[in-house]
Protein backbone atom coordinates (compact mmCIF):
# COMPACT_ATOMS: atom_id res chain seq x y z
CA UNK A 1 0.00 0.00 0.00
CA UNK A 2 1.28 3.49 -0.81
CA UNK A 3 0.04 7.00 0.04
CA UNK A 4 1.14 10.36 -1.38
CA UNK A 5 1.15 13.57 0.68
CA UNK A 6 1.73 17.24 -0.14
CA UNK A 7 2.89 20.08 2.09
CA UNK A 8 3.26 23.80 1.53
CA UNK A 9 4.50 26.65 3.71
CA UNK A 10 5.29 30.35 3.42
CA UNK A 11 6.97 32.67 5.92
CA UNK A 12 7.89 36.35 5.66
CA UNK A 13 11.53 37.48 5.62
CA UNK A 14 12.54 39.77 8.43
CA UNK A 15 15.77 41.47 9.52
CA UNK A 16 17.30 40.15 12.72
CA UNK A 17 16.05 36.57 12.31
CA UNK A 18 18.19 33.52 11.61
CA UNK A 19 17.52 31.85 8.25
CA UNK A 20 17.07 28.10 8.77
CA UNK A 21 16.15 25.86 5.84
CA UNK A 22 15.81 22.12 6.31
CA UNK A 23 17.58 22.43 9.66
CA UNK A 24 20.59 24.15 8.08
CA UNK A 25 21.57 27.65 9.14
CA UNK A 26 22.00 29.79 6.02
CA UNK A 27 24.18 32.90 6.06
CA UNK A 28 21.84 35.75 5.03
CA UNK A 29 21.05 39.23 6.39
CA UNK A 30 17.39 38.32 6.90
CA UNK A 31 15.61 35.25 8.24
CA UNK A 32 12.09 33.87 8.22
CA UNK A 33 9.72 35.23 10.82
CA UNK A 34 7.40 32.96 12.76
CA UNK A 35 6.41 31.55 16.11
CA UNK A 36 8.85 28.61 15.90
CA UNK A 37 12.21 28.76 14.10
CA UNK A 38 10.10 29.27 10.92
CA UNK A 39 11.85 26.52 8.96
CA UNK A 40 9.56 26.35 5.91
CA UNK A 41 11.20 23.14 4.68
CA UNK A 42 10.57 21.17 7.85
CA UNK A 43 7.05 22.62 8.18
CA UNK A 44 6.08 21.66 4.62
CA UNK A 45 7.75 18.26 5.04
CA UNK A 46 5.89 17.58 8.29
CA UNK A 47 2.57 18.55 6.68
CA UNK A 48 3.26 16.31 3.69
CA UNK A 49 3.99 13.33 5.96
CA UNK A 50 0.90 13.96 8.10
CA UNK A 51 -1.18 14.44 4.96
CA UNK A 52 -0.07 11.18 3.38
CA UNK A 53 -1.11 9.29 6.51
CA UNK A 54 -4.41 11.20 6.80
CA UNK A 55 -3.32 12.80 10.09
CA UNK A 56 -4.31 16.43 9.55
CA UNK A 57 -1.67 19.14 9.72
CA UNK A 58 1.14 20.55 11.83
CA UNK A 59 -1.14 23.12 13.50
CA UNK A 60 -3.34 20.40 14.98
CA UNK A 61 -0.49 19.11 17.13
CA UNK A 62 1.50 22.33 17.55
CA UNK A 63 -0.76 25.44 17.61
CA UNK A 64 1.16 28.67 16.92
CA UNK A 65 -0.69 30.21 19.87
CA UNK A 66 1.05 27.85 22.32
CA UNK A 67 3.96 29.61 24.09
CA UNK A 68 5.73 26.22 24.39
CA UNK A 69 6.25 26.27 20.61
CA UNK A 70 7.95 29.68 20.55
CA UNK A 71 11.29 29.59 18.70
CA UNK A 72 11.02 25.79 18.77
CA UNK A 73 13.39 23.73 16.61
CA UNK A 74 11.09 22.51 13.82
CA UNK A 75 12.81 19.11 13.89
CA UNK A 76 10.54 18.51 16.90
CA UNK A 77 7.49 18.78 14.60
CA UNK A 78 9.08 16.44 12.09
CA UNK A 79 10.03 13.84 14.72
CA UNK A 80 6.46 13.95 16.07
CA UNK A 81 5.02 13.23 12.60
CA UNK A 82 7.53 10.39 12.04
CA UNK A 83 6.51 8.84 15.35
CA UNK A 84 2.83 9.07 14.41
CA UNK A 85 3.23 7.39 11.02
CA UNK A 86 5.51 4.68 12.44
CA UNK A 87 2.78 3.82 14.96
CA UNK A 88 0.44 3.23 12.01
CA UNK A 89 3.00 1.07 10.21
CA UNK A 90 3.95 3.60 7.51
CA UNK A 91 7.50 4.23 6.33
CA UNK A 92 8.88 6.90 4.04
CA UNK A 93 9.71 5.90 0.47
CA UNK A 94 10.87 9.21 -0.96
CA UNK A 95 10.69 12.97 -0.52
CA UNK A 96 10.80 15.74 -3.14
CA UNK A 97 11.26 19.34 -2.00
CA UNK A 98 11.09 22.70 -3.80
CA UNK A 99 12.31 25.83 -2.02
CA UNK A 100 11.12 29.12 -3.54
CA UNK A 101 13.54 31.93 -2.71
CA UNK A 102 14.74 34.92 -4.72
CA UNK A 103 17.83 35.21 -2.55
CA UNK A 104 20.26 33.98 -1.40
CA UNK A 105 21.33 31.59 -4.12
CA UNK A 106 20.73 28.11 -2.70
CA UNK A 107 22.65 26.07 -5.28
CA UNK A 108 25.61 25.51 -2.98
CA UNK A 109 23.41 24.71 0.03
CA UNK A 110 20.94 22.29 -1.56
CA UNK A 111 23.13 19.25 -1.00
CA UNK A 112 23.64 20.12 2.70
CA UNK A 113 19.88 20.46 3.15
CA UNK A 114 19.36 17.17 1.33
CA UNK A 115 21.91 15.36 3.54
CA UNK A 116 20.35 16.79 6.68
CA UNK A 117 16.81 15.84 5.62
CA UNK A 118 17.93 12.26 4.92
CA UNK A 119 19.50 12.18 8.39
CA UNK A 120 16.40 13.62 10.11
CA UNK A 121 14.11 11.24 8.20
CA UNK A 122 16.34 8.19 8.66
CA UNK A 123 16.28 7.33 4.95
CA UNK A 124 19.00 7.03 2.34
CA UNK A 125 20.02 10.30 0.72
CA UNK A 126 19.13 8.82 -2.69
CA UNK A 127 15.47 9.01 -1.60
CA UNK A 128 15.59 12.75 -0.91
CA UNK A 129 15.59 15.47 -3.56
CA UNK A 130 15.87 19.23 -3.00
CA UNK A 131 15.24 21.81 -5.72
CA UNK A 132 15.48 25.60 -5.51
CA UNK A 133 13.57 28.12 -7.62
CA UNK A 134 13.62 31.91 -7.68
CA UNK A 135 10.47 33.98 -8.15
CA UNK A 136 11.82 35.56 -11.36
CA UNK A 137 11.63 38.91 -9.50
CA UNK A 138 7.81 38.93 -9.53
CA UNK A 139 5.33 38.33 -6.72
CA UNK A 140 6.17 38.08 -3.04
CA UNK A 141 8.88 35.49 -3.68
CA UNK A 142 10.48 37.53 -6.47
CA UNK A 143 10.48 40.69 -4.35
CA UNK A 144 12.18 38.68 -1.57
CA UNK A 145 9.37 39.48 0.87
CA UNK A 146 8.94 35.80 1.76
CA UNK A 147 10.07 32.28 1.01
CA UNK A 148 7.90 29.26 0.31
CA UNK A 149 8.42 25.53 0.21
CA UNK A 150 6.50 22.67 -1.35
CA UNK A 151 7.06 19.02 -0.50
CA UNK A 152 5.68 15.78 -1.84
CA UNK A 153 6.25 12.52 0.03
CA UNK A 154 5.41 8.92 -0.64
CA UNK A 155 4.69 6.55 2.23
CA UNK A 156 4.58 2.77 2.05
CA UNK A 157 3.03 0.09 4.26
CA UNK A 158 3.17 -3.63 3.70
MG1 LIG B 1 5.25 27.38 8.95
Query: How confident is the chain (158 residues) per 10-residue block, as mean pLDDT?
Result: 98 97 97 94 98 95 84 93 98 98 95 98 98 97 98 97
Per-residue 3-state assignment (H helix, E strand, C coil) for the chain = CEEEEEEEEEEEEEECCCEEECCEEECCCEEECCCCCCCHHHHHHHHHHHHHCCCCCHHHHCCCCCHHHCCCCCHHHHHHHHHHHHHCCCEEEEEEEEEECCCCCCCCCHHHHHHHHHHHHCCCHHHEEEEEECCCCCHHHHCCCEEEEEEEEEEECC
pLDDT of residue 145: 98
Expressed in angstroms and rounded, the spacing between residue 108 Cα and the centre of ligand 1 is 24
Report field, pTM of the whole predicted structure over 0.95? yes
Expressed in angstroms and rounded, the spacing between residue 136 Cα and the centre of ligand 1 is 23
pLDDT of residue 93: 98
pLDDT of residue 72: 87
Expressed in angstroms and rounded, the spacing between residue 1 Cα and the centre of ligand 1 is 29
pLDDT of residue 76: 95
pLDDT of residue 65: 84
Expressed in angstroms and rounded, the spacing between residue 39 Cα and the centre of ligand 1 is 7
Expressed in angstroms and rounded, the spacing between residue 59 Cα and the centre of ligand 1 is 9
Expressed in angstroms and rounded, the spacing between residue 40 Cα and the centre of ligand 1 is 5
Expressed in angstroms and rounded, the spacing between residue 37 Cα and the centre of ligand 1 is 9
Amino acid sequence: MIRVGIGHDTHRLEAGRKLILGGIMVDHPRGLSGHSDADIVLHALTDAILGAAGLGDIGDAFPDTDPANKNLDSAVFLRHSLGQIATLGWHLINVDVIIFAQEPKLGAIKSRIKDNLACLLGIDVSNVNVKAKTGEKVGFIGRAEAMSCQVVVLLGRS
